[in-house]
Amino acid sequence: MEHVTFKHKRTTLERAEKFISSHHFTDINLRSRLYPKKHPLKSILNYPAPGRISYQQAITQQFKPTQVGHSFGRTWATHWFKLELEIPTDWAGQEVHLIWNSQSEALIWKDGQPVQGLSGENNRGLSDENRISFPLQQPGTTCQVLYIEMACNGLLGCGLNGMINPPDFKKCFTLQQAELAVFDRQVYKLMIDVEILHDMAKELSEDSERGYQALYTVNKIINIIEVGESSSYNRAKKIADMFFNQKNGDSQHTIYAMGHSHIDTVIFTSFSYRYRLVISTSFSYRYRSVIFTSFSYRYRLVNSTSFSYRYKLVIFTSFSYRYRLVIFTSISLRYRLVDGNIPSGEAFVRQFLYGQRYFLKEFGIVCKEFWLPDTFGYSAQLPQIMEQCGISRFLTQKLSWNIFNKFPHHTFWWNGIDGSRVLTHFPPGDSYHMVSKVKELIYTLKNYRDKGRSGRSCYLYGYGDGGNGPTEEMVNKLERMENVDGLPRVKMATPNQYFSDVEKEDIDDLCTWSGELYLEMHNGTYTTHAEVKKQNRKCEVLLHDVEFLATMATVSGDYDYPRKELDRLWKLLLLNQFHDVLPGSSIGMVYEDAHRYYRGQYSSKLDRNSRANLNCDILLSVFVNTLGWTRCEIISLPSSLSSPLRKKQKAPSYGLSALDSPSELPSPVTYLFLQGSYIYLENSLLSAILDSNGRVTSLTTADSSRNLINGEHPANQIVLFDDIPLYWDAWDVMDYHLETRKVVDTVNQSAEILDKGPLRVTIKVCLRISAVSSLEQYIILDAGCPYIKFINKVSWHENRKFLKVEFPTSIHTNHVSFDIQFGFLQRPNNYNTSWDSARFEVCGHKWADISDYNSGLAVLNDCKYGYSAVDGIIRLSLLRSPKAPDENADMGEHEFTYAIMPHQGILQSSGVIQQSYNLNSPLLVQTGDISPTSYFSINTPQIILDTVKLSEDSKKKIVLRLYESFGGNTTATISTPLKNLTVQRYVGYSYSF
């Protein structure tokens, strides 16, 4: 007689868990029958490659026998294996898999083509046999030969004693498993059912009727199954089907499941090591797409397949057009998985430009979605740039990492600084590497914060943070949970399907978020690896200048516009703007590559070639102004004297000028020693008092007596902070670092006057930062210049310290303005709310300005991005010293410039915006004999002509990219001497621009 027991939930759950466990009772549970028959390989041969070689090169090498248990390395090495397989004849008609586990990344090659990627890592402790197994096709023969390319590194590199630590260069990888096995798909499907039922019983609320139904169902299935007896499997399957065939109601929330591979191209491995992952990930999905008709896959196609044309061909020629267009869904259009804060406006435009042109060329389609799941915050200017580039939809999930405030929406409108808006979605599962667990589906629904406004959300499944993407098991589970009572509906979908369905709802009911999407983590990345950020700024300016010069040389003469070389240089720059490279959060090997790419930009001959083709004979000095306003600056010319010859030189807007003839000297800059070792500086626009440490105690404009510096605290105060985050070393600076402020006031050399006027006064001071670090500073005031410039040379050898310079002001105001891409953003000058205080470190570009109605003070810089501003004090972040993942980050010598600019009136009338450009783009000196020429000028400072270039598709079209810089609207007139022009005003996107 059958005994009916009272069911204890805990014991029943644990019984179900261990029934499919890979750790407990593995000799008798259901999982033990997943591979009921196994057979050794006929032979395993190994060739230790000298580097990353091609398949054609590998197969011609001398392979030697090896076996399971042998180790291979060391880190970053490549080993090729030749496998001879002989399938037993009595296995005919059964599904046979190759099992390969080398504890590392690996790629299977067959008949000259990569066919699937493998990974032997135990990713998050989950059982993933299909990441170490490859289903063999049996074309009428039992003998096969396969090659495996083994990479001696893990999915996320080889951190020594921790993922984010510098690499362990001595690590070896052991071949743990290499054999043939029969795969019992009936057992596999039952294991999926048992897992889903177990998870529903565990995760649904205690008062859920459906949860208890799942509990009793899974218990009944285990009672029925006789391990190894297939007829019992059929009976168990019928019981499972009865449960899973009970459907959801029409009002249930729908989860749009999207296979996703977040390939961190470089973070814990270098650029050159990642092509294997791109290929292995891609070919894993070719296999998935053949099996699952509903499968679609999100993949950063543009940036990943641009590694090498050869590897791009390998991928593309193996996919039919249908798979290229559908399986690799057309999203993620930027050229790189770009940082969201630091690139310039023009760099963002080029990301979209190259991405859109790529998809047009390869697929004939235009992308609507911007897919950026992982970057460290999102500029407030992005909605306008997206809209201008044809993008109306945006998806990310990174703000789920916030540590102080939970973002209030998941589906909403995101407004930019000009009012442009894009439909935005944050997948409420708070992850881009879900693994098809019941717990994730339930959390997605519970966590969704826009219930009632929208009944849909996205779910990104597949291994991310390194790649490899979805597994067969993940797809099977989602299909089993597609429409099951007790869970949200699951719909395999593309981003276009999701956003289109949302747009069919009453989207006017969605809430709006205006301004930046600030990530309350990883704000140390505005400063880490300072040299990379410096080279980024310099190269952005260099490419701006070269494009202008090349454009004018082309339209003015016989110069052939170097489009291919410019594309190459831009793509190198965009490559380095990847969201772990430019932020400074990659291993040291990455920066060896990055600096090599920067050197490649500087070594290009384009700059001097384009200048030399502006119809110039090599006779006299010519000055080139690559900005959109007339400038008058002190310049240095080569001289036979011990110091360079200085002159005040005027140059027209976007134009050329010859060396000015000697004329009446401008109003001089003077200095005076005051009592108590203070120095008084003055020119026609400002005056300042400095102490012997180089600190500014007084700063006034010429037409005001108001001291803009706080009377109790000097400006240009160098300060040092402890910088020990909770975990993410290179990424994070924590709020408590502000409690460790130490003033740097030990002087190695007091203020010394070097240049004594009349065109320039230079003061030199030397400070001792610590026993191992020092700063040499040159304080410069030029005649007629509205700012004081500070050129800094730092020898930096610290351990987790943060160097900043602070400027306490006497200005009381509620907001501080920060330069961002094509505009500026205002942030609070207080910590009134938790949202305000979380912004203790923020990103800005060339300047930050604090102003009231009467006057203000701006801090300018030539290569810095980290700021803080509160209670009238602006701090500029200079250098950090994290030790992971690059233990040598920022160690060594640095040179950078910042400046302080007092002004009368509000920001918009101050000239701060133009002066920040001047600081970053000094007049260029060339030799030649020309008449002064202004190619373009604008009649209002409110409009910035940011870019002058030729069209992507025509040498007869000049593209002018302009933006309104004051935060308003106006009309403007552009003047040019160029003849026979047809002018077209274009607002919107064009892939010729």
Which residues are the active-site residues? Answer: 374
User: What is the distance between the alpha carbons of residues 856 and 913, in angstroms, rounded to a whole number?
Assistant: 13
DSSP per position, 347-373 = HHHHHHHHHHHHHHHHHS----EEE--
**For residues 448 and 428, is the Cβ–Cβ distance under 8 A?**
yes
**Cα distances (Å, whole numbers) of residue 71 to 42, 103, 122, 180:** 20, 10, 18, 20
Left, alpha or beta for 700 (phi > 0: left; psi -120 to 50: alpha)?
A: beta
Q: What angle do CA 580, 582, 585 make, to 5 degrees?
A: 40
Residue 929 to residue 926: CA distance in whole angstroms? 10
Q: How far is CA 53 from the centre of its chain?
A: 29
What distance in Å separates the CA atoms of residue 812 and residue 873, rounded to the nearest whole number? 10
User: Half-sphere exposure of residue 126, counting CA atoms within 13 Å on the CB side?
Assistant: 17
The answer to whether the CB of 776 falls within 8 A of the CB of 793 is yes
Distance in angstroms (rounded) separating the CA atoms of residues 866 and 524 = 8
On the 0-12 / 13-18 / 19+ scale of CB atoms within 10 A, 589 is buried
Q: How many CB atoms lie within 10 A of CB 451?
A: 14
Q: Cα–Cα distances in Å, from 939 out to 98, 655, 945?
A: 72, 15, 11
- For residues 468 and 107, the answer to whether their CB atoms sit within 8 Å is no
Exposed, middle or buried by CB within 10 Å (0-12, 13-18, 19+), for 352? Answer: buried
Which of 149, 173, 152, 155 lies closest to 311, judged by CA?
149
Q: Is 50 left (phi over 0), alpha (psi -120 to 50) or beta?
A: alpha
Q: Are 307 and 266 in contact (CB under 8 A)?
A: no
DSSP assignment, residue 844? Answer: -
Residue with tokens 């992308």: 367
The dihedral sign for the CA sequence 267, 268, 273, 278? negative
Distance CA 612, CA 930 (A): 12
The secondary element (H helix, E strand) that includes residue 764 is strand 760-768
CA 309-277-730 angle, 5° bins: 110
Q: Which of 938, 976, 887 has the alpha carbon at shortest distance from 164?
A: 887
- For residue 512, the surrounding DSSP H or E stretch is strand 512-514
Cα-Cα end-to-end distance for the chain: 81
Q: How is residue 762 written in tokens? A: 């230079």
φ and ψ of 636, to 5 deg: -110, 130
Distances 825 to 96, 278, 505, 808, 940 between C-alpha atoms, Å? 60, 38, 32, 21, 21
**In which element (H, E) is residue 678 found?**
strand 678-682
> Distance between CA atoms of 34 and 190, rounded to whole angstroms?
10
DSSP string across 801-822? EEEEEEEEBS---SEEEEEETT
3-state secondary structure 613-645: CCCCCCCEEEEEECCCCCEEEEEEECCCCCCCE
Give the three-state DSSP class for 477. Answer: helix
